[in-house]
Amino acid sequence: MVHAKLIVRAVFGIIGNIISFGLFASPVPTFYRVIKTNSVNEVKPKFHLLATMNCLLWVLFSMPFVCPGNILLLTANGFGVVMHLAYLIIFLIYATDNERMYKGGVLLVELAVIGVVSGLVTGLVDDISRRRFIMGLLCVYSAFMMYLSRFFHVVVDESADYMPFPVVVTNTLNDLCWIFYGSLGFDVIVLFAYGLGFIVGVIQLARHVHSNKIPDDKKLAAADVQLQGMA
């Protein structure tokens, strides 16, 4: 019975990885246009900065010295770190001097914070359960801030047209996969964090259904705000 549960959990984790990889790669056309036009145009790096921090924290949480047995969560968020850092580097290359200085500074602060947190948690906290609890709280907080930002952008500001309906559906299904992954492993941290994402996704879906339209001329801009920071 336990073995079967582990297999089912792994299946949901693999599906979550596949969906996450697609979501993390979805802004590629946007940044290809940035390179082609030598201009960041309307690209906003705010969500990629939030997603980078979120993915980095989940990578730390999934490490064997913090929370063993989460290799699938590690691979999904590890890929997210690579992709979002690539997007941010491209943005910084083609951004104006002011944007480059400000956004680059924010990214450096994020990386420094992750380095300090990693050092403190592994160096000062010997008990692995306490490490997991501390990193789990940071992951939940980061996820909450990311989803809150998405909620205000899409729902409160009524900008649903900047996140196409198919992306919202895919992202919500992705959160649902990780909810099953967390519930089968009795991982309250994963369950709660991705549960927040699922709730925001359902609200976004309701927003789309209510508006009942997605302007074609804004679909190309949508990839830049597809913040799938968390697997």
- Residue-wise pLDDT for 177-191, tens only, equals 999 999 988 789 999
For the chain, domain boundaries: 2-225
**What is the 3 state secondary structure string of 19-66?**
HHHHHHHCCHHHHHHHHHHCCCCCCCCHHHHHHHHHHHHHHHHHCCCC
pLDDT at 99: 86
Q: How far is CA 175 from the centre of its chain?
A: 10
Q: For 87, what's the count of Cα atoms within 13 Å in the CB-facing half-sphere?
A: 30
In the chain, % of residues over pLDDT 70: 85
Rounded Cα distance between 156 and 127, Å, is: 42
- Residue-wise pLDDT for 123-174, tens only, equals 888 888 899 999 999 999 999 888 887 777 665 555 555 567 788 888 899 9
- Residue-wise pLDDT for 64-110, tens only, equals 999 988 999 999 999 999 999 999 999 999 988 888 888 899 999 99
Q: For residue 104, count other CB atoms closer than 10 A to its CB.
A: 16
Q: Which residue has the tokens 């979550």?
A: 16
- Gyration radius (Cα) of the chain, Å: 18
Rounded Cα distance between 46 and 20, Å, is: 19
Structural tokens at position 7: 């297999």
Chain mean pLDDT for the chain: 84
3-class DSSP assignment, residue 45: coil
pLDDT at 226: 46
- pLDDT, average across residues 39-57: 87
Rounded Cα distance between 226 and 167, Å, is: 7
pLDDT band, very low/low/confident/very high, at 58 (cuts 50, 70, 90): very high
Q: Decide if 53 contacts 88 (C-beta within 8 A).
A: no
Rounded Cα distance between 37 and 220, Å, is: 15
**What is the model's pTM?**
0.85
